[in-house]
Chains A and B, each alone.
Chain A
Amino acid sequence: MRKYIVRRILYAIPTLIGISVIVFAISRLAPGDPVRLYTFGATNITEEDIAALRHFYGLDRPLPVQYVDWLLKMLQGDFGKSLQYNQPAFALLLERLPATLQLAVLALVLQIAIGVPLGVIAALNRGSWLDNVVRFFGVIGHAIPAFWIGLLFIVLFAVNLHWLPSQGVLTIGKDVWDIGDRIKHILMPAFVLALAGIANYSRYLRTETLDVIAQDYVRTARAKGLRERTVVYVHALRNALIPVVTALGGILAALVSGALIIEQVFTWPGVGQLTYAAVRGKDYPLIMAGVMFASTMLVISYLLRDIAYGRVDPRIKVN
């Protein structure tokens, strides 16, 4: 097992370097120019000023040189300075990390806590109105873009009903440790971020549960005279959960990418919002830091999934 993990981590290195090459190339070759952007509208700025700025940012060197320089520094933990903030990109990212983690973890919990029971209930009541409702919302939750639902929620719960705040992490003026106020703020973005996952989980669970309760061993369990509750929750559900673990990697990926959009809609000051602003401002070092962070999270989550997979299903051997 240990060998397997080490090998997977070693594999992850070329993957991440590959990603960095692609993102570096795309961000640099895409049209637009940060120096022009920052100096736009300035009166009488000369080309010498522009060249000096470009030199200051190190953008006047050939692209491969810039890339190798970036890579070598990155390996030492230095992601360069943000062009917009003139501060170390990685430090800026770390400042935003707690906010994103709060959001993602709560969303993950909501996905499982809501999605799993919904799927099981739907399967056990197959064909009933309950089943139809769950399936309907499963499709809706999957088909409607999260940012749109986010805006809809803001209009409904913040503007019309005044139940929840529409933006940010904390009411202005409230103490930073006011947990109640923080929970009020995180509910909407976390729920919206969780929606697609809830839809996914309920669909998986419904299909799997239907599959499992038709198996012979379930019939056997029933024949032994076990209570229905024990049959479903101990014998059936455990096996129905296996594909859920498989889906976990993809769902984590969706959380990372979804946070980019949801943080924007709810002005959640996390990594996603920072990366989005970096892209808007052509802040190359910050873009790279943001993307490398997201990629690393993904690689780790896939690794965790594979490890968990072996745990949940002893038939699967990882090596």
Chain B
Amino acid sequence: MRHWRTTLAVIATAALVATACTPGPQTGGTAQPEEKPVAGGRVIRGSFSDIRVMNPVIATDATSGQVTDLLFDPLLRADPKTGNPIPWMGKWTASADNLTFSWEIDSKANWSDGKPVIADDFLARSKAVARSKLTTQKSNWTDVEGWTDYRDGKATAISGITLDTANPKKFTVKFARSFCPALLNVFGAAPLPSHIYGKYTVDNDPAKNIDTAPENSAPPVVDGPFKFKEWRKGDQVILTRNDSYWRGAPYLDEFVQKVVADTTVQAAQLKTGELTLGAIQPGDFDDLSKQENLKLYEWKDNGYVYVGWKLNNPNVPFLQDKRIRQALAYGLDTEQVVQSVVFGHGEKQIMHTPSVSWAFPGTGGFNEYKFDPAKAEQLIRDAGYAKGSDGFFAKDGKTLGWTIVTNQGNKTRETFLQVATEQYKKIGVKINPKVEDFTTLVPKLNTGSNEIETIIIGWQLGAEPDGFFSIWHSSNIARAEQAGNNFVGYKNPELDKLIEQARVGNCAQDVRKPIYQQANKILNEDQPYNFGFSQNRILATDKRIRGIEPGSFSPDATWNVEKWWIKP
């Protein structure tokens, strides 16, 4: 599940751990240049749910993904700071037409049982995804030539993947089209040890797969910085140092992921030292920054929390009027929202692309929708509404009001909803705030139910800006017969064209960037969302832990975990 997490994942329940950039406030000791790393020690990370599985092919939940990321390394990854694809356990060259990729896996890359990581292991991953019934990664691979035939059992080999008979570390992959997200989607997938998992996928029997392999809950060999030691279900997962890690053995002896009830309990455990690492909420920042034993890191996130106006819901026809949506942008004091909801640990967002992405065009030429209640009210009047004696706008006897819903238990979003309701009241818009359980909200959201009039929720984006396609292309409008991430039902042929143009053909960043700029301009003008704000990631750690270098594109900040060490 590294894949959809890297391309795009939703900030589901409370908070996931994460990613990168601005150096944090220094509340603890800082690494002095003369400090020499010392081996040993243990990091204990808090998590709000138990893992379910440790096979990256079928780990669909964020918590399991956090652990498989430490066990299995990918061939390439997004640069933790910039998001650009960079060689990791392998290096590649692409043909001029961007259709053929030639790979060579690092010569030092070995499985923890001493066997080398080879091209066959990449193939094992590809085949495992093709035949698994549980994976949600199939769409990542469909452009690889012959892959769908293998998936469907029409072929017993994937014709597009060729292993080098002379050098087991070399292979080439041929794509049916030049598809820009493919690089991260396909090669960001960690190879699977073919000598362990290979037997579960049977070339001539599409019914066989890795789904029930016992190794899924106790991986015997890994190529990541840590090895699996023990899973005490419901309590903790214990990982130990992989001495043969290709980037060098980690300094830490152990990495433990421990289940905690919620953010309150996690904060308490960080204070007592029962946890030494945990992603925290902005509301806990001041309290924890005063703790002598802790150090906090803060960095910008590649994601945002937004208000999504449902544009294809007949119950709220007024939301289809751009003037109303723009009024709702002028009428919301986002600067104040950032102060009161995330206590200043975030920034106003005025378009889809967050400021950390390479596709971010800067704010020049964009409407920043500076807080202007008078302008907001004027726009509502322009749309034909008049203010009644109750202080709310109305037209034809109907008050301008509707329901905004968000998921229960997410403090940030619940507070955002309260603040927005108050602020909209001041410009004469009557919001009925509602919180609903995440489990019941999800099917309504991605099947486009009209029970939803407006949603407050968040996007956690991947390094690849093609998240645009999934969220904004009209083919992904959420509807009963086809779920989609275009929850609000936004349809704009001009935007569709831009998104399609940016994902195929010439994948150079300087070609794609101006296209995404235009796409962002359209969204900024049209306001299908109020783009809300981007909430910073905050990581609290025991102040003795050294070597952490967060980046907006490394979920969990663990990309260099082998360099982490604990000052005695």
Contacts and interface: CB of A to CB of B under 8 A. Distances in A.
A51 to B, nearest CB: 11
Contact of A159 (B268, B442, B446, B467): B268
A166 B12 contact: no
Interface stretch (A118-126, A132-140, A235-243, A261-269): A261-269
A172 B44 contact: yes
Interface string A206-245: 0000000000000000000000000000000000000000
Interface stretch (A31-39, A59-67, A298-306): A31-39
Interface in A250-308: 264-267, 269-270, 273-274, 277, 280-282
A135 B437 CA distance: 39
B138 A49 contact: yes
B271 A159 contact: yes
Interface string A87-123: 1000010011001000000000000000000000000
A41 B269 contact: no
A40 B10 contact: yes
B133 A53 contact: yes
B356 interface: no
Nearest to B232: A269
Interface in A1-55: 30-33, 36-47, 49-50, 52-53
Contacts of A44: 139, 469-470, 476
A167 B234 CA distance: 12
A43 B238 CA distance: 31
A56 interface: yes
A158 interface: yes
Interface residues of B, number: 62
Nearest to A81: B212
Contact of A41 (B9, B264, B469, B481): B9
B482 A47 contact: yes
B554 to A, nearest CB: 19
Given A52-B133, A154-B268, A33 B443 contact: yes
B233 A282 contact: no
B442 A155 contact: no
A197 interface: no
B261 A265 contact: yes
Contact of B485 (A32, A41, A162): A41
A154 B74 CA distance: 40
Interface string B48-65: 011011000010110000
B274 interface: yes
B315 interface: no
Nearest to A33: B443
B42 interface: yes
Interface stretch (B160-168, B252-260, B512-520, B529-537): B252-260
B272 interface: yes
B467 A43 contact: yes
A179 to B, nearest CB: 17
A168 B237 CA distance: 12
A38 B134 CA distance: 10
Nearest to B264: A151
A169 interface: yes
A50 B274 CA distance: 40
A267 B265 contact: yes
Contacts of B217: 85, 87
Interface centre among B8, B60, B211, B481 (most CB of A within 10 A): B60
Given A38-B60, A84-B52, A166-B272, A282 B439 contact: yes
B136 A42 contact: yes
A45 B258 CA distance: 31
B7 interface: yes
A128 interface: no
A308 B360 CA distance: 73
Contact of B53 (A30, A31, A85): A85
Contacts of A38: 60-61, 136
A85 B216 CA distance: 10
A76 interface: no
B32 interface: no
Contacts of B442: 32-33, 36-37, 40
Given A38-B60, A42-B4, A166-B269, A269 B235 contact: yes
Given A43-B8, A173-B42, A32 B53 contact: no
A172 B269 contact: no
B235 A168 contact: yes
Name, among B137, B271, B442, the residue most crowded by chain A CB atoms within 10 Å (CB to CB).
Answer: B442
A165 interface: yes
Interface residues of A, number: 55
Contacts of A274: 233-234
A86 interface: yes
B483 interface: yes
Most chain A CB inside 10 Å of its own CB: which residue of B58, B261, B272, B438 = B261
Contacts of B49: 277
Nearest to A164: B272
B274 A45 contact: no
B349 interface: no
Contact of B211 (A31, A86, A155, A166): A86
A215 B358 CA distance: 87
Contacts of B44: 172
Nearest to A270: B234
B42 A172 contact: yes
A43 B259 contact: no
A113 B212 CA distance: 47
B527 interface: no
A166 B60 contact: no
Given A32-B442, A45-B136, A158 B211 contact: no
A30 B238 CA distance: 36
A269 B234 contact: yes
B371 to A, nearest CB: 31
Interface string A162-192: 1001111101110000000000000000000
Contacts of A171: 274
B268 A269 contact: no
Nearest to B466: A43
B95 interface: no
A169 B136 contact: no
A284 to B, nearest CB: 12
A56 B261 contact: no
Contacts of B258: 167-168, 172, 267
A173 to B, nearest CB: 6
Contacts of A266: 261
7 contacts: A32-B437, A33-B442, A40-B12, A85-B217, A159-B271, A167-B274, A269-B233
Per CB-CB distance, the 6 closest pairs between chain A and chain B, nearest first, are: A269-B234, A41-B10, A44-B139, A32-B439, A42-B136, A269-B235
Interface of B: 4, 7-10, 12, 42, 44, 49-50, 52-53, 58, 60-61, 133-134, 136-139, 211-212, 216-217, 232-236, 238, 254, 256, 258-261, 264-265, 268-269, 271-272, 274, 437-440, 442-447, 467, 469-470, 476, 481-483, 485
Given A37-B439, A49-B136, A277-B234, 10 more contacts: A38-B61, A40-B12, A41-B10, A41-B485, A44-B470, A47-B481, A49-B139, A86-B212, A159-B271, A168-B274
